[in-house]
């Protein structure tokens, strides 16, 4: 862990969460369940990254919340509103999944922090933010049929 106790706001692990804002705004009126999940995930993820991903309750809860957002996105893939939306979402799914699996398999967080610091914000913040936005503007609520 770096000598600083907390990450600064200009660190890419923190500021790249701004890419979720359009999806959050668009989902507010169209997909309330996505808006709720995304609000929780963003708050926890920012707190976790500012805290340098230290092991503990925050890190564990953030991981569960982030995976719930991923599962929601996968569930929405089953409801193809359009071919274009599906293609964008499937590419985001592939990139996010690959980033997660490669960084996990290679343990980049512990073995190559420089690579992790580069790939994590892109593959786990920017790309999922695109996925969330496309979902928010092109899908009906997942819970609408209940």
Share of the chain above pLDDT 70, in %: 95
Query: Which pLDDT value is given to residue 1?
Result: 54
Q: Please give the full DSSP string across 114-140, using - where no structure is assigned.
A: HHHHHHHHIIIIIHHHHHHHHHHHH--
**Where does residue 34 rank: exposed (0-12), middle (13-18), buried (19+ CB within 10 A)?**
buried
| Whole-structure pTM value | 0.93
**pLDDT tens string 71-94:** 999 999 998 889 999 999 999 999
Q: In whole numbers, what is the pLDDT of the chain averaged over residues?
A: 94
With a cut of 80, say whether residue 21 has pLDDT above it. yes
Query: Which pLDDT value is given to residue 93?
Result: 98
């Amino acid at each position: 862990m770096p000598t600083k106790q907390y990450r600064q706001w200009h660190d890419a692990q923190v500021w790249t969460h701004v890419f979720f804002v359009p999806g959050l705004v668009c989902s507010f009126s169209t997909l309330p369940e996505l808006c709720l999940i995304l609000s929780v995930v963003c708050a926890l993820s920012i707190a976790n990254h500012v805290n340098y991903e230290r092991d503990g309750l925050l890190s564990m809860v953030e991981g569960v919340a982030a995976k719930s957002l991923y599962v929601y996105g996968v569930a929405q893939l089953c409801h193809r509103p359009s071919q274009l939306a599906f293609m964008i979402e499937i590419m985001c799914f592939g990139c996010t999944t690959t980033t997660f699996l490669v960084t996990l398999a290679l343990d980049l967080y512990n073995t190559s922090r420089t690579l992790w610091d580069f790939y994590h914000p892109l593959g786990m913040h920017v790309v999922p933010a695109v996925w969330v936005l496309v979902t928010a503007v092109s899908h009906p609520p997942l819970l609408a049929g209940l």
